[in-house]
Structure 1
Amino acid sequence: MTTATRALLLMGSILLFANAYAQDRLSGVLKNELQREFTQLKAADKNVYYMSYRVDDIVSYRVTASFGVINSIDSNRVRIFTPTVRVGSYQFDNTHNMQSGGAPGTLPIVENEDILKLSIWKSTDMAYKNAAQIYEQLLTNKKVRVAEEDTAADFSNARREVYFDAPLNYKALKPDLDKVAAALKKITQVFKQNPDLLQGGANFEFKITRKYFVDTDGSDIVENGTETWQSIFGNTKAADGMELPLYKLYFAYMPSGLPAGDSVLADVSGMSVKLSALKNSPLADPFVGPAILSGRAAGVFFHEIFGHRLEGKRMKNEFDGQTFKNKIGTEVLPAFLSIAMDPTTKNVSGSQVNGYYKFDDEGVAAQKVAVVEEGILRNFLMTRTPINGVSGSNGHARTAPGGIPESRQSNLVVTGKSEKTFSELRDMLIAECKKQGKQYGYLFQDVQGGFTNVGRTTPNAFNVLPTEVYKIYTDDKPDELVRGVDLIGTPLSMFKHITACSNTTETFNGMCGSGSGWVPVSASSPAIFVDVIETQKKSKSSERLPVLPRPDLDKQ
């Protein structure tokens, strides 16, 4: 390629960028208004040292169905505006110990610059007043409190980023909602045929997001994103009142990436059969012994029990348990396991994953972070808020629209070297059961989620919520589906009992609601064998089964 050709290509790129930028009036308004208001606020209060504007412009399409009937078809659009005003200095400001002072609002869906500026001005003024008030309170508190454990600054510098995705063609992206509705109606008709079910439905949601970020450091970012969710779910109830739900989520970036209708119908039929089996399955007793967690179950386990303890910003808070804060360079997992957080990938082992983004919510480029290498802790998930011993963001500041960015997970990927087939893991389970004098061990096949405590004032325990659990017996007795099992424990103890993993990876896509609100995440992991786990009985309702039959069944 000649120098002249390179120059022409560069000029073409610049013109294309400038043309796209000119088409997006909101981007220009945000940039200009940020500079105007920062200049004026700084003149009024010398302690104002940084500002940013964030907008999430979201278009959503939704279809819901139940028992062969369409419940709703709707769409909406909203622009959520989040101003950030930092008062104080990089070392100490209004965000200290996770305080803030924001004032999120909405922007009208118009192109009129005067109307947009008015809305931006109102929210910014409120954000400044809140930030200034909190800063003054923090200065007062600082005089009467003991020295803090973490002396790192409240904010750090970041590289200036300029990035601009082309304006979206909303008309071309709009899904065929009538076609979607027909598919969901057909899918949920299968649930209607099962008299054991109290609920049998399906949801579809396609979301188009255009995210804007500008700050006084010069970053100027506009990033597009799409996500598609389709879920199927059913619910039955045992005679003792226990609610028994099953769920299956399908994720793709575009509706065309969802599985074919026949595949979903097969999943619905299987779920319906399984729900009837669950209704009549035995209630499990509390148990201590060996178990296998499927790849999906293990992914949720690592997300809940391990991942949240790597979120750096929460370690500024002295009420946090700070499980791993001083353990970088030490062994925290078995040596055959490694974990990375990778928001830069859209696929893991052939599955589309939900935690992808180009820039985080502080305008920092997404980065793959090797948090554990062969069992050794190497890094935390960092925002622009440093902690003692770790400074500089690695692109993991995330929040729901309107929230305050915190350290959050993205795409968690577990890899292992002690790889075995599932059959070999099963053999290990049976051998360990015999060694411990147990008649059976557990297989956790699927889960709906989980939660964990990370504070100092409560036990640092976890609870993973399985939906499909089997007893695997040491004799020739067939595997037995059971209900009422919750997987519980404490993290440091549990990690020591992971002894092997499988040679295949499964992915759990979902939304995490910790800290700064709901953000898209995924967790991919091989199945793991644990020589000791603990379970407890699941809570249950005291309500009887419905006295009246379902209306559609009463007609038959």
Structure 2
Amino acid sequence: MIKSATRIFLLVGVILFSITGNAQDKLLQILKSELQREYEQLRNADSNVYYISYRVDDITTYRVSATFGVVNAIDSSRVRVFTPSVRLGTYQLDNTHNMQFGNTSGRLALVDDETLIKLAIWKNTDAAYKNAAQIYEQLLTNKRVRVVEEDTAADFSAAKKEVYYDPPVHYAALKPDLLRVAEDLKAITKVFKQNPDLLTGSCNYEFKITRKYFVDTDGSEIIENATGVWLYIFGNTKADDGMELPLTKLYFAFEPARLPSRDSIIADAVIISEKLSKLRTAPLADPYVGPAILSGRASGVFFHEIFGHRLEGKRMKNEHDGQTFKNKIGTEVLPSFLSITMDPTAKQVNGVDVNGYYRFDDEGVMGQKVDVVENGILKNFLMTRTPINGVSGSNGHARTAPGGIPESRQSNLIVTGKTDKTEADLRSMLIEECKKQGKPFGYYFADVQGGFTNVGRTTPNAFNVIPTEVYRVYADGRPDELVRGVDLIGTPLSMFMRIAACSKEMDTFNGSCGAGSGWVPVSASSPAIFVDLIETQKKSKSSERPPVLPRPDLDHE
């Protein structure tokens, strides 16, 4: 059913383009004609050239920011980022071998002046070819003196030719009312101004309109539109011992009208302000080993950082990668009650807009839903057009920031569990496990700001999830206690097997991931999980004292 609906949508897109696109979108025609010209001439000059693609990210951004009830900036920008990809050699061995791609992106004129655009395309394609030719010659030399590599799969693979056109963007209709947005941000950040404990209390708004173009020598022609709006409230304070204490809340939607109301966001700002004051005087946590609960948002980040990055297929071509799961397809890698899907075709999860949605990836392959883990068993990896031993063919997960080189990246991570447990049930399990282990308390990780993980062979394959809101849950029934200075750490394989249960409720973390090929939009949706053994360490802190002088806005009141 999903595939049929997709075909219908594609057909509608083709019809729309035939009516309006050819008359209005000159850039695609310029890209196609210049691609053909450059390819023919480079092939005549060097028969090793076998594939070229052109990618353009045409991005218009509107921004508003405010701090403590005052607007800092209202601005807008537009940029066209052009990225050529030139491959020399064969599908089996080319200049990208072992990810030795050089970055040769540039900028195109914002007006559709054919001469200006063609000159920029020519200049950047020439640079991309020279870079690729140099790398290819070095690879041929190195192959003669190096041992046989672990992964003998090809460097590139064929993909289905795709033809898809979104209709032209109506920028005037999409432009937000920035003055109204500014008034909203002033009202939101006035909440922070009223709290003398805060060093910063800000709100940022960003609405982005992206029109992406992709053409290649295999015949694909794609134009895809995307919109997304972020509203980000942020406050921070400092404890007397110098520890920085930030709290944030992020809102994402595809359209500004889908953001929460101003009153709802103001209510969230009040909660953040109150929590920051409590964090200033909260006890500093010591290193800990014992049971814990991770909320849905916290566990979503946990699975993204610790599990998802180890499913990214292209990185496994690199012999310096830890390749945690490369030879584990068909084996148990998570408890049998958990399954994980990566789904770029999903625009919402449980009614929430999710940031990792797209139709086509950055190699011109249609995004596909991939069931990577079913009932704890590893089934698949996230693949680009670069195969690895045992897994070939892209499943539409080649992604990059504008101007970057596509790598295997996550999209919308969705964790599901076979369970009827509520979060209250997990809390009861936590208290029972504390008593069993002789621990006076366990931890509840309510929210996180992100995390990172090491996946290389030369460093320990460890992770660090960075919580912002953590509570001690006491086994003797005392009220939960907010604490500060906690980092959740560990090694992945041991941690996965400590997951003992999950809730039936799910929450979503929308964000951006900066691994490998730059910042790309992602989301992670997960139930809360109960882990019978986790490890924490103390968070690093500044040695600087809190400000001696009061904030000037408070000093004059």
Is 1:56–1:401's contact at 8 Å kept on the other side of the alignment? yes
Is 1:506 aligned with 2:507?
yes
Aligned-residue offset at 1:160: 0.1
Greater CA deviation, 377-386 or 101-110?
101-110
CA distance in 2, matches of 1:505, 1:279: 30
Is 1:80 aligned with 2:75?
no
Q: Tell me what 1:100 maps to.
A: 101
SS in 1 for 2:210: strand
The 5-angstrom pairing of residues 11-22 of structure 1 reads: 14=15, 16-17=17-18, 19-22=20-23
CA distance in 2, matches of 1:16, 1:468: 49
Q: Tell me what 2:469 maps to.
A: 468
Q: Tell me what 2:198 maps to.
A: 197
Is 2:60–2:209's contact at 8 Å kept on the other side of the alignment? yes
Q: Tell me what 1:425 maps to.
A: 426
CA distance in 1, matches of 2:43, 2:342: 38
Is 2:13–2:164's contact at 8 Å kept on the other side of the alignment? no
CA distance in 1, matches of 2:447, 2:477: 24
SS in 1 for 2:508: strand
Aligned-residue offset at 1:318: 0.2
CA distance in 1, matches of 2:351, 2:335: 26
Gaps of 5+ in 1: 1-9
CA distance in 2, matches of 1:11, 1:530: 48
Q: Tell me what 2:354 maps to.
A: 353
Q: Tell me what 2:167 maps to.
A: 166
- Taking structure 1 as the reference length, what is the TM-score of the superposition? 0.97
Greater CA deviation, 398-407 or 416-425?
416-425
Flag the 1:16–1:454 CA change in 2: closer, same or farther, 3 A: closer
Is 1:369–1:379's contact at 8 Å kept on the other side of the alignment? yes
Counterpart of 2:409, as a letter, is R
Is 1:85–1:102's contact at 8 Å kept on the other side of the alignment? no
CA distance in 1, matches of 2:19, 2:158: 27
Aligned-residue offset at 1:89: 0.7
CA distance in 2, matches of 1:172, 1:163: 23
Aligned-residue offset at 1:71: 0.4
Q: Deviations over 1:41-78 (max 9, x none)?
A: 00100000000000000000000000000000000000
Is 2:13–2:166's contact at 8 Å kept on the other side of the alignment? no
Aligned-residue offset at 1:141: 1.1
Aligned-residue offset at 1:440: 0.1
Q: Deviations over 1:473-508 (max 9, x none)?
A: 011210000000000000000001001000100000
Q: Deviations over 1:239-282 (max 9, x none)?
A: 00000000000000011110001110100000000000000100
Q: Tell me what 2:495 maps to.
A: 494
Counterpart of 2:188, as a letter, is I
Flag the 1:25–1:547 CA change in 2: closer, same or farther, 3 A: same
Q: Tell me what 2:332 maps to.
A: 331
SS in 2 for 1:492: helix
Greater CA deviation, 88-97 or 100-109?
100-109
SS in 2 for 1:419: coil
CA distance in 1, matches of 2:295, 2:438: 24
Q: Deviations over 1:437-474 (max 9, x none)?
A: 00000000000000000000000000000000000001
The 5-angstrom pairing of residues 105-504 of structure 1 reads: 105-504=106-505
Flag the 1:51–1:12 CA change in 2: closer, same or farther, 3 A: closer
Is 1:55–1:81's contact at 8 Å kept on the other side of the alignment? yes
Aligned-residue offset at 1:23: 1.3
Is 1:85–1:101's contact at 8 Å kept on the other side of the alignment? no
Q: Tell me what 2:4 maps to.
A: none
CA distance in 1, matches of 2:17, 2:501: 53
Q: Deviations over 1:74-126 (max 9, x none)?
A: 00000000000001110001100000134100001011111110110000000
CA distance in 2, matches of 1:266, 1:183: 13
Aligned-residue offset at 1:12: 12
Aligned-residue offset at 1:18: 5.0
SS in 1 for 2:137: helix
Aligned-residue offset at 1:313: 0.0
Gaps of 5+ in 2: 1-10
Aligned-residue offset at 1:21: 2.7
Q: Percent identity?
A: 75
SS in 1 for 2:144: helix
Q: Tell me what 2:543 maps to.
A: 542
Q: Deviations over 1:167-218 (max 9, x none)?
A: 0000000000000000000000010000000000000000000000000000
Give the number of aligned pairs. Answer: 547
